[in-house]
Structure 1
Amino acid sequence: MSEQHVVVSGAQIEAKLTRVSAAVILREQDGKPGYLLAQRPPGKAYAGYWEFPGGKVEAGESFAEALVRELQEELGITVTEMTPWITRHFVYPHARVEIRFFRVTSWDGLVHPLEHTAMAWLDCHVMAGVLDLEAMTPPFPVQPVLPANTPILRALALPDVYAITNALANGLEAELLRLRHARPPLVQVRDKELSDSERVAFCRAVVAEVHAYGGLVLLNGSEAAVSACGVDGLHLTAAALMDCHARPDWPLVFASCHTAEELSKACALGLDAAVLGPVARTDTHPDQTPMGWDSFALLITESAIPVYALGGMTRQDVDVAKARGAQGVGMMRGW
């Protein structure tokens, strides 16, 4: 990588890109998902800040190889299962970094802070919902968190299934009953075939059902429609995404993507997540050629936001999607 000049706080500094691997170490304790943060020791930049463990990629190493080595050195564990996830680019006053985050789900050895001052296992939902994360204010249990890491905390609050309503096929009342029984934590109201008045009424009913059990609802539509329905956020079509010049002013904003250009735009706008597809053939668009898992994985390799695989997905595809770097799957059927 050639040396580049980066402007930081009005001062021009010379900085080579530093490649970093970071581990989102996940475990389940008493039925609750959790992750590990570690505190940077004295003598290092941002001493006392909390971060996801990891470190620099050395010459000749892949990101994955660097992470295995770093976790042996920092925590005394040997990784046995990990999957790629999100890639963040961040400019600190002292460095310009590319951080590739991996989800680590299995390892040998006991986790010990060999190079950190302390460590803490946190509940994935300790932030009390994704809507409260932007300021990272108390009662978040450890502070401060390294700036490049805070978007990952927000992503950790998102589930691995993004449920999409299908009232046209199931009927309005049946779809509401399906929500009541399945209780998906994150729901997109789509149902564009309904009339405007039917769609608003249905959306409000969905919000009542989902909010009753603590879930969140996004509406696939215009910002005006979102305001009328009382939902938690906006889901942009690919066309609406490409027309955006700034992130819409909603706590949660997702977008539908089909190409690298669209996904890049979603990342540049700082959206919360994207859906990308179709990965497989779908009943909704049977004539559309699917991209397949290999193309999907390639497109999201450097995505700075979580991406859900869309198109022909079932719950059995969740682990497949995660292995390819996805947040999980989006689906209309089977949730």
Structure 2
Amino acid sequence: MSSPKRSIHVVAGVITDARGRVLLNRRTEHSDLAGLWEFPGGKREPGETSEQALARELHEELGIEADIGEWLMDVPQCYPDKDLVLEVRHVRSWKGTPRGREGQAITWVAPDKLGRYSMPPADLPVVAALREPDRYLITPAPLEDDIDNERWHEQLWRAVDAGHQRIQLRFPADHPQRAQLCESAVRRHRGVSQWLVNRDIELARHLGTGVHLGAEQLTALRERPLPAEQPVAASCHDLQQLQAAQSLGCDFVVLGPVQRTASHPDAAPMGWERFAALRAQVALPIYALGGLGVQDITTARRHGAQGIAAIRGLWPTD
């Protein structure tokens, strides 16, 4: 009979220097996941608060006296031998000079270079949370009475002005102006760092944007459909689809519905516990989807999400 898996709570710190670089630890030769880079920290012992645990671990690992700051996110993650929750906290300030007191290598990394370092699965969503938006706007199609699409473009302007940096252009497949609207949005609304076109890989190639794949496309594709500089995302509803998205090399996914939605009233919501259980099975940044808004971002991050994805919850209203 196999022994039951351990359940452990680990607290890690995001330590940033005056140049904005982030400190990483390299796991030593005789530890689990040896050689991988991670955010420094360690296991929370019984009777400790998260702040106490992280301060103790940073002193033991790095020789610094740390002032623990605000919470960033929790990442549930399943490993072969344990179920882990990685709680991530910012380090407000510290005294001393960080050094590898346990024989480990350490390095300071610019945020845009973090993706180059091989990390344990639980640390990968943290990198995304540090570098990428906590909300993913999905556009509705223009209303039928918006004949010239100006109202839609004006709302999109307002969304961009509000700071949305990751936007999916989503239209019905049979929309007569689908390609035209996507192209005009990308050309007219500058300042957005990531555009993604819903499902249409060829249009994404033509526009130089990313693509957001439908769940049904995940099983049909055998390789990532776009180069690394063009993001690939996907809609997922179960573990099989999440695993397919990970195998395909998707940069992030949306998972839901978490709550009941007006657009899909017959879809049974999975709830936050099921969301977290699915999140723990893969090493992907995941946006929670379904009946959510900005007010749900903290809850989403408590369950391991990058943030929330939404149409109604993020699209400007008249």
The TM-score with structure 1 as length reference comes to 0.68
**Paired residue for 2:282?**
303
The TM-score with structure 2 as length reference comes to 0.71
Q: Answer whether contact 1:187 1:217 (CA < 8 A) is retained.
A: yes
Cα root mean square deviation, aligned: 4.5
Correspondence 1:243 to 2:189? no
Q: How many residues align structurally?
A: 291
Shift of 1:51: 4.9
Q: Answer whether contact 1:25 1:35 (CA < 8 A) is retained.
A: no
Q: Answer whether contact 1:37 1:50 (CA < 8 A) is retained.
A: no
**Paired residue for 1:166?**
140
Q: What does 1:157-236 correspond to in 2, within 5 Å?
A: 157-169=131-143, 171=146, 172-183=149-160, 184-192=164-172, 194-195=174-175, 197-210=176-189, 212-228=190-206, 230-236=207-213
Segment drifting more, 215-224 vs 252-261: 215-224
Shift of 1:318: 0.9
More strand by share: 1
Q: Answer whether contact 2:166 2:192 (CA < 8 A) is retained.
A: no
Q: Answer whether contact 2:72 2:90 (CA < 8 A) is retained.
A: yes
Letter in 2 for 1:227: R
SS in 2 for 1:167: coil
TM-aligned CA distance change 1:70 to 1:244, over 3 Å: farther
**Paired residue for 1:14?**
none
SS in 1 for 2:153: helix
Shift of 1:299: 1.1
Shift of 1:220: 1.0
Q: Answer whether contact 2:23 2:107 (CA < 8 A) is retained.
A: yes
**Poorly superposed stretches of 4+, deviation over 6 Å:** 41-45, 64-67, 96-100
SS in 1 for 2:272: helix
Deviations 1:16-57 (A, max 9, x none): xxx995735278x9xxxx673246699999xxx9752235x6
Letter in 2 for 1:242: T
Q: Answer whether contact 2:128 2:285 (CA < 8 A) is retained.
A: no
Q: Answer whether contact 1:160 1:329 (CA < 8 A) is retained.
A: yes
Shift of 1:103: 2.9
Letter in 1 for 2:312: R
Deviations 1:215-262 (A, max 9, x none): 21011113223223x142111101101222222233311010001111
**Paired residue for 1:110?**
94
Shift of 1:269: 2.2
Q: Distance in 2 between matches of 1:188 and 1:288?
A: 22
TM-aligned CA distance change 1:51 to 1:41, over 3 Å: closer
Q: Distance in 2 between matches of 1:219 and 1:111?
A: 47
Any unmatched runs of 5+ in structure 1? 3-18, 90-95, 137-144
